[in-house]
Structure 1
Amino acid sequence: MQHGRGGVDDAAPPVVLEVDLGPGVRAGFTTRAGGVSPEPWQSLNLGLNVTDDAARVRANRARAGAWLGAPVAFASQVHGTDVAVVTDRGSAADSVGEADAMVAVAAGVGLGVLVADCVPVLLADVEAGVVGVAHAGRRGLAHGVVPAVLDAMRSAGASVGRVRAAVGPSACGRCYEVPATMRDEVALARPATWSTTTWGTPALDLPAGVVADLEAAGVADVVHVGACTIEDERFFSHRRAARGGSTTGRFAGLVALAGA
């Protein structure tokens, strides 16, 4: 039997950082641990587009769904602002289509957002029975994916003033180095993203941009899980893997309303 990083047995359940988005909501961010994929994806890789075997990825997604208590719907993320509305448990196939955010209004419908340095965002309005996720990469954040998912939640009956949000592990503003022109372009749209690395070069602070968008929209309850994926090997990081000349997997933010 294979063993994962740090001696974690591949048969062990997923290790998930749970967050509180209100009563009746299950939500959290997966780590690398608790899956069946071998190196270099070791071990809970949830991404189908990173050359891992599809059967292993589907087995990992089933493990994530078991933790969540609901089948998990994933989208084909393209760094845009489109929002998919997921209406039933049967939507948990490989993909619900191209979208970088999703909203669900039914209990027992799981939503998942895949990342490996971008920002995963989880959202819930318990009173309205609406949950959402967003994939906030550089382009999607600059173009307004966070306001877009909040608008979709509002259309589904949510009140932004009641929404609770969790901003998950991602590349931090101290490490996410970019060309100066790129920093200027993104910061023009989202000023809170302007940053500098610890070694003095231009950078982007994407989670700060997400938090600023949430607060500007009126979301008062925002939790930021501040782990940096580039520095923290509990999580997959595209940038860290690329520095080593390797590929890597994807972890996920997961959310669902409890119930059948």
Structure 2
Amino acid sequence: MSAAFELAPGVLAGFTGRYDAGVSAPPFDTFNLGKSVPDEAAAVEENRRAAAALYGFDHTRVVWMEQVHSADVAVAAEPGGAGRVDAVVTARDDLVLAALSADCLPIVAADPGAGVIGAAHSGRVGTIKRVAPALVEEMVRQGADLERIRVVLGPSICGRCYEVPAHMRDELAAHTPEGASETREGTPAVDMRAAVEAQLRAAGVGHVSADGRCTYETADLFSHRRQAPTGRLASYVWRT
């Protein structure tokens, strides 16, 4: 597990790892946080409680999304399910926002001055639909200032490993050319991290950093490309 880090003053975030804790059996071993895979429901609940305990917040405070590769954003007013969305924002100081991933790009964001935080899940389709800029736009509607927003991009499959057919790479590159990439073998690929960073900077966000780890290349992270079926990592953001 990545230790909790200060995303912004008064705001913490963290990215879980595959083997940090947990009780899930193979192939979801051991710290699967996702309910969209056919893991035992009781195991996932136990893992979610363990993750909350490791980071030091109450598991009943977490807001979870039913991620559907959209650009839809929910404004969370209470813990639990945020619905069929891929981004969530809140100005409440008692909620923890979570995004799940296993190659897709998780995003955590905060404006500490406004007390607004956000989380998103940006896969290839979500990147094409521009879910990251949609997250920022909703944060601004909730009172955030673009100049104060800090964003960290979590672990995801890298542009050298995410091989796709040429038409899929070109579909993304048509509006975000930074997302076009090649594998080490010279075949077409997508770089979601580069694409999303470019989208955020074009939207006016000046503070963007990245975890940098590739899920496909890192054995202690879940990767759908490397092993399917598999579990899901969680990316959390919360105010202290």
Q: Mark yes or no: TM-score above 0.5.
A: yes
Runs (5+) with no aligned partner, structure 1: 1-14
> Aligned match of 1:72 in 62, 72, 75?
62
Q: Alignment partner of 2:227: what SS?
A: helix
Deviation string 1:210-230 (CA, Å, 9 cap, x unpaired) is: 111111112121111110000
Instruction: Measure the CA separation in 2 of the matches of 1:68 and 1:127.
Output: 23
> Aligned match of 2:91 in 81, 84, 105?
105
Instruction: Measure the CA separation in 2 of the matches of 1:144 and 1:252.
Output: 21
Instruction: Measure the CA separation in 2 of the matches of 1:75 and 1:249.
Output: 16
Partner of 2:37: 50
Partner of 2:77: 87
User: Where does 1:103-142 land on structure 2 (aligned, <5 Å)?
Assistant: 103-142=89-128
Q: How many residues align?
A: 236
The residue type equivalent to 1:42 in the other structure is: D
Is 125-134 or 19-28 further displaced after alignment? 19-28
TM-score, length basis structure 1: 0.88
RMSD: 1.2
Deviation string 1:186-240 (CA, Å, 9 cap, x unpaired) is: 1112211000001110000001011111111121211111100001011100000
| 8 Å contact from structure 2 (residues 180, 191) kept in 1 | yes
The residue type equivalent to 1:44 in the other structure is: F
| 8 Å contact from structure 1 (residues 26, 68) kept in 2 | no
TM-score, length basis structure 2: 0.95
The residue type equivalent to 1:80 in the other structure is: S
Shift of 1:68: 4.9
| 8 Å contact from structure 1 (residues 68, 254) kept in 2 | no
Partner of 1:249: 231
Partner of 1:160: 146
Partner of 1:172: 158
The residue type equivalent to 2:57 in the other structure is: G
Shift of 1:18: 3.0
Partner of 2:187: 201
Shift of 1:74: 0.8
| 8 Å contact from structure 2 (residues 35, 41) kept in 1 | yes
Partner of 1:11: none
Q: Alignment partner of 1:146: what SS?
A: helix
Instruction: Measure the CA separation in 2 of the matches of 1:86 and 1:44.
Output: 25
Distance 1:19 1:199, change over 3 A: farther
User: Where does 1:182-201 land on structure 2 (aligned, <5 Å)?
Assistant: 182-201=168-187
Q: Alignment partner of 1:211: what SS?
A: helix
1:35 aligns with 2:37: no
Shift of 1:17: 4.1
Q: Alignment partner of 1:161: what SS?
A: coil
Deviation string 1:71-116 (CA, Å, 9 cap, x unpaired) is: 221110000011011113xx23xx3210000001111200000000
Runs (5+) with no aligned partner, structure 2: none
Shift of 1:20: 2.5
Deviation string 1:144-199 (CA, Å, 9 cap, x unpaired) is: 10111111100100001100110010000000000001111111122110000011
| 8 Å contact from structure 2 (residues 32, 232) kept in 1 | yes
Shift of 1:34: 1.2
Same amino acid, percent of matched pairs: 47
Q: Alignment partner of 1:230: what SS?
A: coil
Instruction: Measure the CA separation in 2 of the matches of 1:179 and 1:17.
Output: 36
